Amino acid sequence: MFTLGHATLLILGTFLVWWLWRVLGQRDRALAIVRRHCKQHDLQLLDDSVALSGVRLGRTRGGWFGLIRRYAFEFTVTGEHRYAGHLDLSGNHVLTIELAPHPFPGGQADEPAATVTTQSSAKIHRIY
């Protein structure tokens, strides 16, 4: 017989499947954003992947409190060294993309390294 307990488990199971589907979709979106960013700046995304490195409560683009997901990735300029970067997403909105200091693509070996690149969400949304 179908009881209230069964209905509760069915609702919880449905919610869990929906939540996992949404999280995987956000990871795919994060990967697409990072690929475009690396391509635009002549960088190579290593391992062609991003990894969820943290979830925190913070201010979203609209000023409300919400979950901020941080995805970590690695990139290279010349293929010799790996550099770290991360992307902060609030829902489907990009908050920041930060890259570790690295030499500019096509630059000379004696040129200074780039500083951390932080872009505002408005600029990123215009690009993407």
Q: What is the pTM of this model?
A: 0.70
Maximal CA-CA distance, the chain: 76
Amino acid identity, position 107: G
Position 126 pLDDT exceeds 70: no
pLDDT single digits (tens) 15-65: 999 988 887 788 889 999 999 999 999 999 998 899 999 999 988 877 788
Q: Please give the C-alpha separations between residue 11 and each of 18, 20, 62, in angstroms, as whole numbers.
A: 11, 14, 31
Domain enclosing residue 70, as ranges: 4-127
Strand 51-59 relative to strand 117-118, pairing: unpaired
Q: Would you place residue 107 in the very low, low, confident or very high pLDDT band (cuts 50, 70, 90)?
A: low
Overall domain count for the chain? 1
What is the sign, positive or negative, of the torsion defined by CA atoms of 91, 96, 101, 102? positive
End-to-end, the C-alpha distance of the chain in Å comes to 52
pLDDT at 106: 64
Helix count (H) and strand count (E) of the chain? 2, 6
pLDDT at 35: 94
